[in-house]
Amino acid sequence: MSLESHITRVIWEEASRDWVELSSCDVVVVGAGPSGLTAAKYLAEKGLKTLVLERRLSFGGGIGGGGMLLHKAVVDERGLGILMDFNIRYKPSSIRGLYVVDTAELTAKLAAGALDAGAKIIPGISVEDVIVRYNPFRVQGVVVEWSAVQFSGLHVDPLFIESKAVIDATGHDAEVLRILEKKNPESKVKIPGEKSAYSEKADVDVVEYTGRVIPGLYATGMAVAAVHGLNRMGPIFTGMLLSGRKVAEAVIRDLESAPK
């Protein structure tokens, strides 16, 4: 047998092994932006089987664009502990209380931190729906499709991943929450959408409002702003990091107290 056939065989075997193993998870994080990657590290560190699904073939979501394509992001003092947890270098800026990070390092090390903690990240997968159960209404996993199939417009039935918790970390569009609003009136999810910029307030509010939205479904990052009608903050990332850690803590608490 040729090396070519061996390569094919190894890739199919190992990818299939992962998909079988991950068809039932503790937590599915939808979106590998700053909040989703932060959440994934703290969840996986607690020993939870954590899967991050990302539509694109790259990590980091909005980090890569920095501030208007400039390769820097801002973090204030509240975020320094998390930067240290991920071993991300930062430097004080000319403005007291504000620190600067390189976007490439923020992206790479948030992803590396989540992976090293034991989370699995699968890129190129889009979450297009959720699994629901009634009485009481709850979310019990996600419906997934190759992003390439979605982009192609082909009609291909998706597959499912069951999980005890789903975290919407899809950013400004709050895509998972919008599925609930659109298809499941029983969920009572309403998305007012985010408000205009008020960075100082938004970067605190987004953390304050982070947590469970309905049973089985949690929001972190800018999805929190969309579902609670909060202001936007622009390329200051303290709120994204703190929101990611807070949602992980909420999921861990809920799963620990759930009847076995």
- Burial level of 29, CB count in 10 A (0-12/13-18/19+)? buried
Is 157 annotated for ligand binding? Answer: yes
62 among annotated binding-site residues: yes
230 three-state secondary structure: coil
- Shortest Cβ 81–ligand 48F spacing (Å): 18
Q: SS in 3 state form for 113-147?
A: HHHHHCCEEEECEEEEEEEEECCCCEEEEEEEEEH
Q: Is 232 annotated as a binding residue?
A: yes
What is the smallest separation between the CB atom of 37 and ligand 48F, expressed in angstroms?
8
At closest approach, how far in Å is the CB of 144 from ligand 48F?
8
Nearer to ligand 48F, 117 or 206 (CB): 206
Please say which residue, 135 or 238, places its beta carbon nearer to ligand 48F.
238
8 A C-beta contact, residue 174 and residue 228: no
State residue 67 phi and psi, 5-degree precision: -105, 110
Residues that bind ligand 48F (CB under 6 A): 30-36, 53-56, 61-63, 126-127, 169-171, 175, 221-223, 232-233, 235, 237, 240
Other CB atoms within 10 Å distance of the CB of residue 84: 11
The reply, when asked if residue 24 is annotated as ligand binding, is no
13 or 77: CB nearest ligand 48F: 77
Residue 6 in marked binding region = no
Q: Are 158 and 147 in contact (CB under 8 A)?
A: no
Question: Is residue 35 marked as binding?
Answer: yes
CB of 192 to ligand 48F, least distance (A): 17
The least distance separating ligand 48F from the CB of residue 177, rounded to whole angstroms, comes to 11
Q: Are 143 and 163 in contact (CB under 8 A)?
A: no
DSSP structural state of residue 57: S
Q: Is 160 helix (H, G, I), strand (E, B) or coil?
A: strand
Which residues line the annotated binding site for NAD(+)? 35, 54-55, 62, 127, 155-157, 222
Q: Binding site residues, as ranges?
A: 35, 54-55, 62, 127, 155-157, 172, 222, 232
